[in-house]
């Protein structure tokens, strides 16, 4: 669960840890990785953020190259620009975040 590290490192309260990332709530609660326990995110928040990171990674793999968009802008090709936008929206629809 390397995504755990990506998620928790975004919290200002995170101080780091040694060893393997937790895979269960029990392991997470036993982990000493927070500066202030009163600001420790709950396990469900961590899992939710991990799910968002997974979606982000899937989307990044399938988005069209930004060069396609920029090329369309430079050429004034509105059809190419719209195709880029439509392709991006299709990826977002394929991998929804839940709030979209």
Query: For every one of its 100 residues, what pLDDT tens digit does the chain have, with 9 covering 90 and above?
Result: 589 999 999 999 999 999 999 999 999 999 999 999 999 999 999 999 999 999 999 999 999 999 999 999 999 999 999 999 999 999 999 999 977 6
pLDDT of residue 22: 95
Angle in degrees, CA 2, 36, 28, rounded to 5: 35
Distances (CA, A) of 69 to 16, 21, 60, 61, 73: 39, 39, 15, 16, 6
- 47 with 27: CB under 8 angstroms? no
- 70 with 81: CB under 8 angstroms? no
Collapse the DSSP code of 87 into the 3-class scheme (helix H, G, I; strand E, B; otherwise coil) and give the result: helix
């Amino acid at each position: 669960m390397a995504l755990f590290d990506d998620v928790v490192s975004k919290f200002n309260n995170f101080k780091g840890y040694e060893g393997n990332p937790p895979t269960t709530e029990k392991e997470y609660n036993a982990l000493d990785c927070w500066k202030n326990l009163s600001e420790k995110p709950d396990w469900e928040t961590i899992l939710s953020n991990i799910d968002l990171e997974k979606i982000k990674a899937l989307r990044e793999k399938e988005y069209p190259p930004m060069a396609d968009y920029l090329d369309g802008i430079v050429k004034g090709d509105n059809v190419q620009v719209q195709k880029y936008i439509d392709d991006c929206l299709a990826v977002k629809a394929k991998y929804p975040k839940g709030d979209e």
